[in-house]
Structure formats: structure tokens, C-alpha cells
Chain A
Amino acid sequence: MIKDLLHSAPSLLNFGIFFGLAVLLLFVVLGFVTYGILSERKIMGFMQMRIGPNQIGGKWGLLQTVADVLKLLIKEDTIPKKADKPLYILAPVIAFAPAFMVLATLPFTDAFQFADIGVGLLYYMAISGISTIGIVTAGWASNNKYSLIGGMRAAAQMISYEIPLVMSLVGIVLITGSLNLNDIVAAQEKVWFIFLQPVAFIVFFIASVAELNRVPFDLPEAESELVAGYHVEYSGFRWAFFMLSEYVYMFAMATLTTVLFLGGWNSIPYLDFIPAAIWFGLKFSAVFYILVWIRVTFPRIRADQLMEFGWKVLLPVALANIFLTALIKELINLF
């Protein structure tokens, strides 16, 4: 349906349809974030042998996040007197807008996708980098030492972990011969890339956790050192925007991991009577669960260890993986 729309003549109606679909996606993602946060808290509770949210909305606390968001909405919106006002207001927007933009190219199933551009993989990497500018801006505009240190750390971390993240994917691009996410999924119809590129998967997964600023790598907002890092001074809905962008990135990164390494919507052999959307959902949920699992079990690493690990371990391993993949592809022609 989308394919026909994309090839039809541009009109106001088309614009309306796409706008409506984008708004729909926004609400789907907001719904995911609401229940993603709840499930994260529940899983954390289960792993730390406590109950987790269980008061609001029945036995499972189903309305807990809704109540939290409502609280954020009616909270006082504070802007510190010495803050740089225009940038303080602009920063959450710069941080959030790219998070939603990256969702445009992600193929959820063969029918459910918004834009099918040739460089989809690079598009994700490029656009997600813009968020860091928002984070650094927030850190600077708050006029607070903790914020500034958090913003600086976010910048350093993004620069050093984006390189292994992209490099680990070059192997996949070599095998597929395309940067298009649909082609990458199509190439995994028989074997998933997690089996062809296990080293790349490990590097990618570690780097993606670092890009998400989640727990072993959450130095930009380390609560025990920096109070809350770059968003110390933010409150109410502006703070909610930072949190929202973080969870939308988590959604996008889990989707990307599924698409790149777990075969996207492809099914396991002999089980292809189950619809593509359910396969996608299952794999996506597994990746999400592992992300939460990592958050609960790992201690935060030190800033210098973070840099050393990124440059001295992940990058050489990713480069070696590229070299090996190219060698095998050329010499043995296995793939």
C-alpha cells in the first residue's frame, strides 16, 4: 500500500495520509515507551527479588507509567535564572526530534515501513548522532557543572563508540552488497547474520548499549557521580523529552538489532505459518529483555576504562572482522 502511495503523483491527500500515518506511529511508539518502562521496572524487580510497581492499575501496575507521565505534565516547569534560555528550551527538541526521525526507515515487516531509502543503515547512524548535539547543548545551557560534565562525557562517548558501531556493520554490508535495510533482511532468509557474523554482533551489541547511554555505559547521567548528568536542571515536560528520546532510541536500536542480525521478520524454517509481525515482535522483545538484563547485572565502568575499551578493544576487533570477512568473501566465495 505504501509502495503504491510513494509512486503516485504528489497531492495534498498523499501528504495527509503520510502525516496521519506518522502521527499514528508516534502514538504507537509512545504506547511502547509507556509499557516498555513498566516492563523494564517489572523485570528489574524480578531480578532484584522485589515486586516492582503493583499499586496503580491492578495487580501488575498497568497504569503506573501513565500516572508518572501525568505527574510530569502537571509539574512546575523550571528554568534556572542563570541558564541560557533559548538553548535551554531548544535542547530537548534537538535531542528528541532525531529519535523519532530514525524510525522512518526501519522496516518492521515487509508491509509496514515508511521510507525505503538506499542508504537506510547509514541514515540511522547519521541521524542518531544529532541527538548528542542536543545533549551537549543541554549540558552547556543549564549552567551547571554536573550538567556540563555529563554533556562532555556524552560527546566523548558518542564519538568513540559510533566508530566501532559502524565498523562492525561493514561485514554485513560486504555480505549483502547493499546498505538498504530491506535488502539486508532479504539476505537473511536462509541464515541470520548473527551466525555469519558473530564477532560483529558482539561488537555491535556492546557499542549499541554505549550509544543508548544505558547502564554499564551510562556515564553521561551517572547518578552517583553527577546527580543526573546533563538533565540535572530540567524538570517537568522538558525532562520527559530527554527520557522519551532515550526510550525511543531503545525501541529503534532493538529494532535495528533485530533487522540486522536476527533476520528481521523472517521466520525460523517450518514455522512460517506464524505471521511476520509476530516474528518481528518476538525477536524485538528478546533484544529488549537482554538490554534490561544488562542494565540490572552490570556495574558502571570508569570513564577512562570506557575510552580504553572503545578504542583499544572494540575498534581493532571490528576492523579485524572486516578484514576477515573481505578475505573469506573474496578467497573462498563462501557467501
Chain B
Amino acid sequence: MSLSGELIAFIGLALVAIVGGVLLITLTKVVHMVIALVFTFLGIAGIYMLLSAEFVAIVQILIYSGAITIVMLFGIMLTKHQENDAPAKGGWGNFSLLAAIAGFAVAVYLGIYNLDIPVQPTALHEENTKQIGIELFQNM
């Protein structure tokens, strides 16, 4: 696999999506979590765009930007705005967790790396808004 512009873009977007996801879990304030969620969704939308699914990418942003704003408002209105950080758990639990995650990562890597999906040339990426429309409103 050579280093192409597409790969660089994918790595960047994937990093944004994953870091957003990790921050969503680790941050403690609701509003911070919502902002992390925004980055996850935008990263995923960017990956859709790379896969030439422009309609899905745009709809993802269109729907979620509104939805996230609402989530944020509910987060502000329905939670207490006071800091009470739970003390972080330490000890052997973390190590076993790390081992489990590493094992899972290795298993997934081995499973995916040599997976050979036969690629058929399709025209799905051309004018996919039109194709989705025809599929939805004529064939269903």
C-alpha cells in the first residue's frame, strides 16, 4: 500500500473519529462530551466522502449537526453544572483491561488484514443522490 493522498486523508479522518470517540468516553463534563461527539460524526462523514458516498456524508452532517445542538441543550438544561470528578480507578483492573483490548486488536487485525473481498466494478458512486432517489421512490 503506497502513501497516497487518499490514505493520508483517511488516516487524518480516522484519527479525528477515534480520538473523538475516546474523548467522548473519558471526558467528565457533558458539554465536552458533546463536542467530542461532533468530531466523531464529522470524521465519519469525511470517510463517507472519501468512499464517494457524498449524499450519505452530507445527510450525516445535516441531521447530526442539528441533533447534536439539541443534545447539548438537554445536556445543559438537565444536568448539574458543578464539578465533581469521580476518582480514577487504578490497580490491576486497568492492566487486565489493557490486555483484553490488545488481544481484541490483534484478533481483529489478523482477521481483517488478509480478508479478500472480491471487488466488482459498479456505477454506484456516480450520481448517487439520483440513484438513492430512484431506489427509494420507484423500486420500494
Contacts and interface: CB of A to CB of B under 8 A. Distances in A.
Given A84-B31, A87-B31, A118-B127, A133 B68 contact: yes
A229 to B, nearest CB: 16
Contacts of A210: none
A148 interface: yes
- Give the size category of A's interface with B: 20 to 34
A130 B46 CA distance: 14
B69 A159 contact: yes
Given A119-B55, A119-B58, A125-B62, A159 B32 contact: no
A136 B69 contact: yes
B65 A133 contact: yes
A130 B68 CA distance: 9
A84 B72 CA distance: 15
A218 interface: no
B53 to A, nearest CB: 10
B35 interface: yes
A48 to B, nearest CB: 36
B70 A87 contact: no
Interface in A102-144: 117-119, 122-123, 125-127, 129-130, 132-133, 136-137, 140-141
Interface of B: 4-6, 29, 31-32, 35, 38, 42, 54-55, 58-59, 61-62, 65-66, 68-70, 72-73, 76, 127-129
23 contacts: A10-B4, A10-B5, A84-B31, A87-B35, A94-B38, A118-B55, A126-B58, A126-B62, A126-B65, A127-B61, A129-B65, A130-B42, A133-B38, A133-B69, A133-B72, A136-B73, A140-B31, A148-B76, A152-B73, A155-B69, A155-B70, A158-B66, A159-B70
